[in-house]
Structure 1
Amino acid sequence: MIEASKQMENGKQATNDNPLIIGVAGGSGSGKTTVVSKIIDSIGPDRVLLIQHDSYYRDLSHLPFEERTKQNFDHPSSLETELMIRHLDALRSGYPVDIPVYDFVEHTRSDDSISALPHRIILVDGILIFSEPKLRKLMDIKLFVDTDGDVRLLRRLQRDINDRGRDLNGVLNQYEKYVRPMHLEFVEPSKRYADIIIPRGGENLVALEMVTALIEGKLSS
């Protein structure tokens, strides 16, 4: 198990095992955050590093703000997935990384970053992570959170209005123009790559208990 206090001279983290990389995908508002939180609570936060695909949105500071708001943030090209892949490769090899910080109000990447050390378990969270073959290949366990579209829309409305400073019309227009079409083109088809599909997200306690037992079993082996 990785001990954060023991650093090697070359900056590499001391490690006895390769990390277990777990991907958690699903549509926007499907309940991925709840599933991830319950996994972390069950396994223990000291053993888990959470990396969110949303942190890797491309910096749009070179565009006027009005142009930034018109971008398709639900297409795979909007994310710097190649950087996430490099970071996961580094963490798997025992090296720390600096995870970007993204401003969802301004649609820009902050000058700050979050320093992340390797952990025994790495959770990767994002709606599009299974649609990227190179990223998908890095994952040992792939979970897909499956939730009805009307529930996902309501949750997205609440999040974007309360947490990201959007207005109702803007959120609905974005959903109709980008979110739903991209879900049908990229997210829903990627479900076939999942090892486990979790209906109803964090409400499905039986499925979460099974996932936790699977993770513990792989750690023990």
Structure 2
Amino acid sequence: MTLPKPIVIGVTGGSASGKTSVSRAIFDQFSGHSLLLLTQDAYYKKSDLPFEQRRLINYDHPLAFDTPLLHRQLKQLIAREAIDRPVYDYKNHNRSDEVVHMTPKDVIIVEGILILADEELRNLMDIKIYVDTDDDIRVIRRIKRDMVERGRSLDDIIQQYLKTVKPSYHQFIEPTKRYADIIVPEGGRNKVAIDLLTTKIRAILAARGLQE
């Protein structure tokens, strides 16, 4: 018996926009179902450059990602095949040698800043979500996150934001908003948007015979 095609949900937006909060809210709504989260960050390209040069890479540019690998592994999951997802080390600014074995699920959430920039990736998604958050809020969140979780200095974070993060957001990320099916202001705090998404996902699950 062939299993129904999984639902693929894309969640995008600028750095620290609240993408993870939206993804977590969806997870909470479907806690009784089989879900997995595939993060675009895991697919940063492996670099042989010295550490100081890796720090200067524009990680918000489309060319920073191994998009063909992400596309290939997402297609494998949709085909109900397991994958070995790469792991990215934020402190070393490089992909590690470790992998995470992931088995197929009924609902696949693909999260990342540039997942809607690639047409082949977009075409694999059933629902495309753009999380829209003010620049000032995002930079404050980014400072807090990178200092606490990634061990970076305030000066390093600010320099990176001004040099690459902010310009790349307006050049590459914000324009992908036009591909979204739904734009969610305020991220996971927008309960109305989460409820609408939940209703739509349940309808697709029912149509494909993937009941909770």
Q: What TM-score results when the alignment is normalised by the length of structure 1?
A: 0.91
Name which of 19, 24, 41 aligns with 2:11. Answer: 24
SS in 2 for 1:99: strand
Work out whether residues 143 and 157 of structure 2, in 8 Å CA contact, stay in contact via their aligned partners in 1: yes
- 2:153 is matched with which residue? 167
Distance 1:200 1:53 in 2: 21
Q: Match of 2:180?
A: 194
Gaps of 5+ in 1: 1-13
Counterpart secondary structure, 2:29: helix
- State how far apart, in whole Å, the 2-side matches of 1:197 and 1:69 are: 32
Which of 25, 47, 57 is 1:71 aligned to? 57
Provide the alpha-carbon RMSD of the alignment: 1.1
Any idea what SS the aligned residue of 1:23 has?
A: strand
Match of 1:125 in 2: 111
Q: Is 1:59–1:107's contact at 8 Å kept on the other side of the alignment?
A: no
Alignment of 1:42 onto 2:20: no
Contact 2:131 2:183 (C-alpha < 8 Å) held by counterparts: yes
- Runs (4+) of structure 1 exceeding 3 A deviation are none
How many pairs are equivalent? 207
User: In 1, distance between residues paired with 2:141 and 2:111?
Assistant: 17
Q: How does 1:1-221 map to 2 (within 5 A)?
A: 16-44=3-31, 46-60=33-47, 62-221=48-207
The letter of the residue matching 1:27 is G
Output the TM-score relative to the length of structure 2.
Answer: 0.95
1:57-102 deviations in Å (ceiling 9; x for gaps): 1112x11111110111010100101100000111111110000011
Q: Who is 1:10 aligned against?
A: none
Displacement of 1:132 in angstroms is 1.1
Contact residue 22 and residue 142 of structure 1 kept, 8 A: yes
Instruction: State the shift of 1:108 in Å.
Output: 1.8
Aligned mates of 2:126, 2:10 — CA distance in 1: 8
